[in-house]
Structure 1
Amino acid sequence: MPVSDTNSQSMTDRIVDLIASGDLSRAERVKEVEISERLGVSRIPLREAMRKLESQGVLEARERGGMNVKAFSAKQIKELSDVRAALEPIAMREAAPAFRKKENRIALNAIIEEMKWAASHKNRQAIALADIEFHSFLMELSGNDLIRNIWSGLRLQLQIVFSLELCIPTNLEDVVPKHLALRDLLLREDLTGLEQLVVGHVRPELNITN
């Protein structure tokens, strides 16, 4: 019996958290028994979550069976940035009018406060999660189902890339002013400014650890 979408999503997030925290290393084989015991889940829903993560580019099949954590190359991270650079201007353009509603402005500011806390405490994983939450919120507000579906796969890869310092500014506090600038442009519905800023925002310098 397949697990529900909600349970499957929770399971994939928990596996990604293990990778993003470094508990599962890049290119390491994912051992079902060990992971199921660590997460306190049975192997059937774990396998389903792993298949989903394979389809989303987080895990990859081994020639002799089983799966490895995907090791992101410079080329793959550049491709990830290229897709974001194409996707996010559209999402932000479509999401901008939603910030005429007070509750959406409050929610966005709350995410930025999380980001500020994480930056002040130099918590790289927390700031990566807040960064992803910021952009996920915009994808949701875009109202574009295709964008949401594409983003659902990208966000997990981005969490890993950001958390493991594969592609992130050296100074974590630089992340906050960049997102404040995006917020201000969104609130003003400055679509030209948004497009110019977001393309530079999603193309950070590569920092690949071989």
Structure 2
Amino acid sequence: MTVHGDSALVELPQPKRISLSESAADTIAEAIATRIISPGERIVETTLVEKLGVSRVPVREALKVLHAQGIISGGGHRGYRVAAFDPHVTQQIMEVRLSLESFMLRDAIDNWRQGMGDPSVLQAPINNMKLSAKAGSRRNSLVADLEFHRVIRQVANNPIVGTLWDTIARHVLIVFNFERFRDEDLDEIPRQHEAFRDWILAEIAKPETDFAQLQAALEGHMLLIARQKKRGDVSISR
């Protein structure tokens, strides 16, 4: 790791010991999302081994996973570099995410409506967003944001769609950090999710949900910041 110096990765949390290679891949993706590792930067395996406190094997496997997912490029004797998330790639990610999360949200609402679980589980990630805002931690806010949508993925209990969503979760985390998709004011993030949570609760109370309206509401939540910036708005409209 060369950008910002090798010591930058000391800020990263140590990977969990369960599924170590996957945890290492998550940690590296978080570093890319928060720009600790910059687009185009060369990734040095030995530096990651040292900074993450794990052996070469899980780091090497993590890099292979991220390469297969298109998050890093290169490989072999050339080494890896962080892939460029240009507007075209970003648009593709957002389109896939909207499609998958629409089905997940539909199934989650239906399950909650039938009494399968309690929608109050959405509150924990919102609380973490508030704590992250208070601490000024963009990284923790990003992770809590993704966790909010991961809760919906789990409640949906749709194995096929859930597995596909897991595949792009790291891409989504990276895209989250693009300011056109996320509010720069960390205090606004939990408020936006509370508004979306309240919409979900209102839908649960209905006998059924119109899928087109659900998709529109989800898209509105996902693209709220992009639309505001295009309009030149300063504050969130509610």
TM-score by length of 2: 0.75
**SS of corresponding position for 2:226:** coil
Q: Residues 57-68 of structure 1: matches in 2 within 5 Å?
A: 57-61=70-74, 65-68=78-81
Q: Is 1:134–2:162 an aligned residue pair?
A: no
Q: 1:89-125 CA deviation, whole Å, 9 max, x = no partner? A: 1110101133355863332111111122223444322
Deviation (angstroms), 1:178: 2.5
Q: CA deviation at 1:28?
A: 0.7
Compare relative contact order (CA 8 Å, sep 6+) and give the higher one, 1 or 2: 1
Partner of 2:226: 205
Measure the CA separation in 1 of the matches of 2:192 and 2:94. 16
Aligned partners of 2:25, 2:153: CA distance in 1, in Å? 19
Shift of 1:132: 0.2
Task: Please report how far the alpha carbon of residue 18 of structure 1 lies from its aligned counterpart in structure 2 after TM superposition.
Answer: 2.4
Question: Does the residue aligned with 2:171 lie in a helix, a strand or coil?
Answer: helix
Larger radius of gyration: 2
Alignment of 1:72-151 (within 5 A): 72-99=85-112, 101=115, 104-151=118-165
Segments of structure 1 that go 5 or more residues without pairing to the other structure are none
Change over 3 Å in CA distance of 1:114–1:5 after alignment to 2: closer
Structure-1-length-normalised TM-score: 0.84
The 8 Å contact of residues 21 and 164 in structure 1, kept in 2 or not, is answered as: no
The answer to whether the 8 A contact 1:30-1:69 is kept is yes
Q: State which drifts further: 136-145 or 152-161.
A: 152-161
Map of 1:69 onto structure 2: 82
Secondary structure of the structure 2 residue equivalent to 1:205: helix
Structure 2 match to 1:184: 198
Deviates more, 1:30-39 or 1:106-115: 106-115
2:49 is the alignment partner of 1:36: yes
The number of equivalent residue pairs is 204
Percent identity of paired positions between Structure 1 and Structure 2? 30
Instruction: Provide, for residues 41-61 of structure 1, a one-character-per-residue CA deviation record: whole Å limited to 9, x for no partner.
Output: 222221111111112222112
**Paired residue for 1:56?**
69
Q: Output the CA distance in 2 between the equivalents of 1:156 and 1:85.
A: 15
Equivalent-residue separation in structure 2 for 1:5 and 1:66 (angstroms): 27
Aligned equivalent of 1:14 = 27
> Is residue 196–residue 221 contact of structure 2 (8 Å, CA) maintained in 1?
no
CA RMSD in angstroms comes to 2.6
Distance across 1 between alignment mates of 2:133 and 2:214: 23
Residue 48 (structure 2) pairs with residue 24 (structure 1): no
The residue identity in structure 2 corresponding to 1:205 is: A
Q: Output the amino acid matched with 1:152.
A: D
